[in-house]
Amino acid sequence: MGAISFKDQLLVFLVVSTLALAHSKPLSSWEIHIKNGLSNGQALFVQCKSKDSDLGKQTLSTGAEFKWNFKVNIWDTTLFWCYLRKPNGHELKFDAFWVEKKTEWLRVKCDGNICNWTVEDNGIYLKDNSTNEDEFIHYWKFPATK
């Protein structure tokens, strides 16, 4: 045969127009900071990842920060999460960035496309750009029993 069916043509048209639409939107750039705000010189272990990248293992001295830049993918599925550990073994795993579809929670806090996370003795805080205050987000978890 060799003739392309109407159904195939329709499918090609749909795929091409979906890709064109996705590309017409500029991909937003973001910068995420994670700062060690622990007391008494406690070092902070940090490892952040997304589905496609592992940003490596970091050990931050107090006051130091780790930051990275990226653009969201065309599917708007970009998600970065981080694992944190204190010298006493307390751990915390949290989402450091995700693309919001229906909410504006993160977008408001991270105005200017910069998210400033600070790790403190009781948990992790996110700077709220609109109030310029660090807002408490998550408590530390005790380590899993060995």
Ligand X SMILES: *[C@@H]1O[C@H](CO)[C@@H](O)[C@H](O)[C@H]1NC(C)=O
Positions touching ligand X (CB under 6 A) are 33, 108, 110-112, 114, 116, 127, 129-130
Q: Within 13 Å of residue 83, how many CA atoms lie on the same side as its CB? A: 9
What is the rounded distance in angstroms from the CA atom of residue 68 to the CA atom of residue 46? Answer: 13
C-beta of 45: minimal distance to ligand X in Å?
A: 21
- The answer to whether the CB of 73 falls within 8 A of the CB of 99 is no
Name which of 77 and 131 has its Cβ closer to ligand X.
131
Name which of 32 and 84 has its Cβ closer to ligand X.
32
Which residues make beta-bridge pairs with 118?
A: 35, 125
C-beta of 122: minimal distance to ligand X in Å?
A: 20
C-beta of 129: minimal distance to ligand X in Å?
A: 4
